Structure 1
Amino acid sequence: MRILQLLFSAVLICAPSLIAAQERDRLDHRSELLGWEGVGRLDTGTGTCTGTLIAKDLVLTAAHCVVDDRKEHVLPKGAMRFHAGLAHDFTAATRSVTKIVLAEGYLNAAKVSLTEQIRTDLAVLRLDRPIFSTEAEPFKVRSGAVQAGPVTLVSYGRGRNTSLQRESGCRLKETYRGGVMTFDCDVTFGSSGAPVFVNDQGLMRIVSVISMMSDAPGRETEAIGMSLPNVVDAMLREMRNDAARAPVSAGAKRVSVGQRSGGARFVSVD
C-alpha cells in the first residue's frame, strides 16, 4: 500500500501531458449533449464547479465547492444556480438551490487526515424545483466495489466552462484503504465535483466525484476522488429526514460541527 501522503499537494492547473490514448470530446452542441444533460455547471456566487443530477431535484458535487474556507462556513445557497446540460447558449434546465447537506465529518476532516478530507468531500444540493426527464435524466450512483479499469469523466473547466468535456479512456488506477480513488483523467479549475462514470452493463453509473489533483514529486499527475455508496446513502437519508422535519432555519444543513482549512482546489473563478 502506497503512503497517501504522496497525494498531498493539490494542483490548480491543467495537466497537458496526460496519455494520448484518452479521448476528449467537447459537447458544444445540443445534439452532442443527448444523454449527458444530467451533468451541469454549478455557479456558487464565488466560482463554478461541476455537479450531477442524481434525482429529479438533487445534485451531487464536491463539498469544497459550497464551503468558504477562509470564513469557514457554507456559502449562501441563495446565490447558487445549477445549469443542467449547459452548452454555450443552450441549457436543459436552470434551478436554484434550497438545501445543502455536507458529508458527515467534512467540516472537521482537515484536522483528521488527508484521507478523511477527500473521503468526505461531498455535498448534495436540493433544487427549488424538479428537473423533469424530458429536460435531463438523473444518473445513479453505482453500488459495490469498482475494479481498476476504464472510466469516463464528464466536466466543465477553465477554457471550456460553457461546454462539457467528455473524456473516455482514462482509468481508475487504484482505490486506497479509506475509499480514496486515483484516476489519470484530465482535470482543471471548475472540474471539482465532476462525475466519474463506469459502464455498468450498458448504463453509465457514477463511481466517484473529483476532489483534487495530486502533485507528488517524481510521480504522474493524478485526479483524486472518493468511493461513493456509503457516504452518499447517509447524505440522502439526512436529506430525507430533514425534509420530514419542520424547518428550523434558513441556513444550510451542517451534518457535523467543526472547521476546515485548505484551498478551494478546482473551483473556477473565471
Structure 2
Amino acid sequence: MPPRGCFPVRAPVRAAFGLALALGTAAPVHAQALDKRVPMEPTAWPFTAIGRVNVVRGPAHRGHCTGTLVGPRHVLTAAHCLFDDRLDTWVKPHQVFFVAGQARDRNAGTAEVEAFRLAPGIDLRLATRPHRDGIASEMIGRDWVILTLRQPLALKPVPWLVLAGAELPKSRPGAVVALAGYAADRPYLPVIDHGCAVRIDAPVPGQLTDACESMSGESGAPVLVLDADGGASLVGIHTAVTGGERVGRAYRSGTGRGVAAGSIAAALDAMVRK
C-alpha cells in the first residue's frame, strides 16, 4: 500500500495538521496505550526557539505545524504544511505566521512570514500522489521549507548539524535524542519525547528514521541532539510516520520519518549564513 503523507485536517483553528505516512491501516489506540511524550514549559533554550507555524487557508480552514528558528529571520518546517489541497497549490506567505515558544496564552515572540523557499523538485499536487491524503515516497526527503520572517526575533536560534549515516544516540556518547513539537492533543503547549533514537540517511540518503512518539501538529518538529554540556543541535525534521496508531484525526507513530539536515544544509547556509 502506498505511503500516506501528513496533510492538513479541515477543522477549526485548534485542530492540527495531519501527520501520517502510515503503511497499512492504522489501528485504534486503547486508553492504556503508552505515550512517552510529556508536556513541557518552553522557558529555556532550545525550546524557546521552537514554535507553532500557523497557516490560514480560510475562515474554516486553519491549522498548524511545528517549526524551529534556525536564524533570526528564518524558520525550518515541513513543506506539506504550506500546501492547500482545496486549491491544489501552495499557500501565499501572508497566510503563514510563526509563534515561538508558545505556552498557552504566552509566547517568546511572533512574526509574519514574508517569503519561503521550498526544496527543489518537490511536487505535492493531487495528480502526483498515490491517493488524496498520500505523499509519494520520493518526496519525503524534499518535504522541507525555510520561512523568511518579516522581522527578526530576538531569540537564540538552534544550529543544524549534519551527521551522515549516524545512529543516535549510540554514535554520540553522552548525547540524548529528543523530539519536541505542538501536537494535536496539546496544540498550545509543546510536548517532548526525551530519550528516543534516530538513524540518519535511512532508509535512503537525505532522509531519517526516528523512534520518537509524535502526533499530528508535530510535522516539521526538530529532531534534536542534546549534549551533556547543554548544547543542542537540529539533525533533521520529523514529517511523517509509518505503522502509526490512530488517535482521533492524528497518528501516534510506529516509526517516524523525516528529512536529514544534510538535505537542507546548503539552502540553510545560503539563506541564514550569507
Match of 1:180 among 207, 216, 234: 207
The root-mean-square deviation of aligned C-alpha atoms, in Å, is: 3.3
- String of CA shifts for 1:75-109, please: whole Å, max 9, x gaps: 12212110000000111001000011001111269
Match of 1:128 among 150, 157, 167: 150
2:195 matched to 1:169? yes
Q: Say whether residues 1:43 and 2:38 are aligned partners.
A: no
- 1:59 to 2:75 alignment: yes
- SS at 1:212's partner residue? strand
Change (3 A) 1:14 1:160: farther
Structure 1 partner of 2:167: 148
| 1:8 maps to 2:13 | no
Shift of 1:204: 1.1
Query: 8 Å contact 1:105–1:120 — kept in the other structure?
Result: yes
Q: How many angstroms apart in 2 are the aligned matches of 1:88 and 1:146?
A: 38
The residue type paired with residue 254 of structure 2 is T
The structure that is strand-richer by fraction is 2
TM-score (norm 1): 0.73
The 5-angstrom pairing of residues 238-257 of structure 1 reads: 239=271
Residue 123 (structure 2) pairs with residue 98 (structure 1): no
Query: Aligned equivalents of 2:107 and 2:27: distance in 1?
Result: 26
More helix by share: 1
Alignment of 1:251-270 (within 5 A): none
Q: TM-score, normalised by structure 2?
A: 0.72
Aligned equivalent of 1:223, options 256, 259, 264: 256
User: Which consecutive unaligned segments of at least 5 residues does structure 1 have?
Assistant: 244-270
Contact kept, 8 Å, 1:15 with 1:186, in 2: the verdict is: no
Would the alpha carbon gap of residues 39 and 216 (structure 1) be closer, same or farther in structure 2, given more than 3 Å must change? Answer: closer
Q: CA deviation at 1:173?
A: 4.6
2:39 to 7, 10, 26: 26
Supply the distance in 1 between the matched residues of 2:210 and 2:121 (Cα, whole angstroms): 24
Counterpart secondary structure, 2:37: strand
Distance 1:108 1:80 in 2: 18
Count of residue correspondences: 227
Structure 1 residue 81 corresponds to structure 2 residue 100? no
Deviations 1:228-253 (A, max 9, x none): 2243423553x47xx9xxxxxxxxxx
* SS in structure 2 at match of 1:37: helix
Q: More deviation in 10-19 or 155-164? A: 10-19
- Amino-acid identity (%): 27
- Distance in 2, Cα, partners of 1:170 & 1:68: 32
Ranges in structure 2 where 5+ consecutive residues have no aligned partner:
6-19, 57-61, 170-176, 246-252
Q: Partners of 1:37 and 1:231 in 2: how far apart?
A: 22
- Per the TM alignment, residue 165 of structure 1 is displaced from its structure 2 partner at its CA by 0.8
Give distance in 2, aligned partners of 1:15 and 1:191.
Answer: 20
The answer to whether the 8 Å contact 1:53/1:139 transfers is: yes
Shift of 1:161: 0.4
CA distance in 1, matches of 2:4, 2:115: 31
Report the 3-state secondary structure (helix = DSSP H, G, I; strand = E; otherwise coil) of the residue aligned with 1:145.
coil
Distance 1:111 1:23 in 2: 32
Indicate conservation of the 8 Å contact 1:23/1:169, yes or no: no
Report the equivalent of 2:141.
119
Q: Residue in 2 aligned with 1:199?
A: 226
Looking at both structures, which has the greater relative contact order when contacts are Cα pairs under 8 Å and sequence separation is at least 6?
1
Deviation at 1:172, TM superposition (A): 1.1
Shift in Å, 1:19: 9.5
Instruction: State the secondary structure of the residue aligned to 1:8.
Output: coil
- Asked if 1:189 is matched to 2:216, the reply is yes
Q: How far did 1:26 drift?
A: 1.2
